[in-house]
Amino acid sequence: MTQRSIATNALTNLQNTQARTAKLQEQITSGTSLSKGSDDSVRAAAALRLNDQIAVNTENGRNLTEARGWMTTQEPALQSTTDALQKVRDLTVQAANGSLDSNGLKAIAAQISEIKKTVMGDANTQYQGRAVFAGTSATTTAFDPTTYASNDDGGAVIRTISAGTNMTVNASGNAVYGAQTAGGSTLFAELDQLATDIAAGNVNSSTVTLSTIDSRINLATNATAVIGARTNQLDHAEDVNTNQLQYLTAQLDDVQGVDPAKAYLEFTQQQVAYQAALQVTAKSVQTTLLDFLR
């Protein structure tokens, strides 16, 4: 064997050892055993599929978070409205029992007017700068505080929470706060009318009766119940989504993951092998070539 052949073989062995060492170092740094598809086409294809599934799963997770935000914003607003209307009912009963003088009736009317402001605030509750009771409209107010005009377009705000499963995450503002019948008045106008009638001593002849208030309470309560049912569905979907993400992540780690301890041990062994190869080469090639390799 010629000196040139010995040098060529030695150089090839050193380059292979260096390449293996560099690959191990890259795996340790990146945390993946697949730096490119050509490393293992079968595993690379599996990793791509898993990454796609994880991306979908992650997007569903964001949708779940947003759905949760919509519902946790609406539920307390609806509960506040229910409590406020219950207070209005109690005040109406008190005003109708005939035991109050005109000043007392005016005081009750003033309380109802203040309660109306609270209810208006509930109706115009926002999530991320959008009125949650305005349907798909991007407006910041579902109901005009002065004219009571509705901005609720009746649209359903939909989020995909899992494969093939969409959820409506908003409650209808018109259903709770708007006119109950064609040509009817909004809840806010009804509260105005009730306050006016009570202040004038006409509570028993008011067009806004206890039945009217009870109907409004039922509407708010029903809307709250719907939100509660959706929240239960959301809880289940979040559990499933979390478990799927953990499973897919584990699968991906099996396909392309690196055992840091094992990789570092192999890296150290390759470094030792490289140093040993240098020493062996130093004894088998000419000094000029050895100097070049060093």
pLDDT at 207 (0 to 100): 94
* CB burial readout 239-273, b (16+ within 10 A) else e: ebbeebbeebeebbeebbbbeeeebeebbeebeee
In order of 71, 123, 152, 219, 233, the CA distances from 227 in angstroms are: 6, 15, 18, 13, 10
pLDDT at 251 (0 to 100): 85
CA distance 252 to 94: 67
Contacts 24+ apart (CB under 8 A), 209-218: 210/89, 210/92, 210/93, 213/85, 213/88, 213/89, 213/92, 214/89, 215/180, 216/85, 216/176, 216/180, 216/187, 216/190, 217/82, 217/85, 217/86, 217/89
pLDDT at 70 (0 to 100): 97
Q: Give residue 127's identity as a one-letter amino acid code.
A: Y
Using a cut of 0.85, tell me whether the model's pTM lies above it: no
Residue 252 binned pLDDT confidence (cut-offs 50, 70, 90):
confident
Q: Where are the alpha helices (DSSP H) in the chain?
A: 3-30, 41-96, 102-123, 173-177, 187-199, 210-256, 260-284, 287-293
CA distance 79 to 81: 5
Q: What is the mean pLDDT of residues 237-244?
A: 94
Phi, psi dihedrals of residue 274, rounded to the nearest 5°: -65, -45
Cβ atoms 246, 183 nearer than 8 A: no
Residue 102 binned pLDDT confidence (cut-offs 50, 70, 90):
very high
Q: Tokens for 138?
A: 């991007």
Residue 164 binned pLDDT confidence (cut-offs 50, 70, 90):
confident
CA 261 to chain centre: 36
Contacts of 89 (CB under 8 A, 6+ apart): 210, 213, 214, 217
Residue 44 binned pLDDT confidence (cut-offs 50, 70, 90):
confident
pLDDT of 264-290, one tens digit each?
Answer: 556 576 666 666 666 666 666 555 554
